Amino acid sequence: MITSTIYLLAGELSNAATRSIKGRVYQVPCVGGIAFEVVPGQDTRMIIKHKDDEPLDRGQLEAAVAKAGNYQLL
């Protein structure tokens, strides 16, 4: 079964920032899909689709987000 896990990224991110992050996060094992919810004045929500029996490695996600630029997974 496919599930979604939601992570918060610090700040309201631009389209360019979300594209950069998406490119890096897709390289993390088990990531099947990524979407972002950007709300003015709020932290950005990153929604990652993955198989429920294949948990995501938060450390790898944090490293991927950091490699994309000066971004932080909360």
Specify the CATH number of the domain 2-68: 3.30.70.100
Angle at 10 between CA 46 and CA 49, to 5 degrees: 10
Query: Which of left, alpha, beta for 17 (phi over 0: left; psi -120 to 50: alpha)?
Result: alpha
Q: What confidence score (pLDDT) does residue 53 get?
A: 94
Strand partners, 7: 46
Q: What is the pTM of this model?
A: 0.92
* Model pLDDT, residue 21: 97
Tens-digit pLDDT profile for residues 22-66: 999 999 999 999 999 999 999 999 999 999 999 999 999 999 999
Tell me whether strands 33-37 and 2-9 are parallel, antiparallel or unpaired: unpaired
Indicate the domain borders of the chain. Answer: 2-68
Q: Which two tokens stand for residue 59?
A: 């450390």
Q: Which of these, 18, 8, 19, lies nearest to 73 by C-alpha position?
A: 8
* pLDDT at residue 37, as a whole number: 96
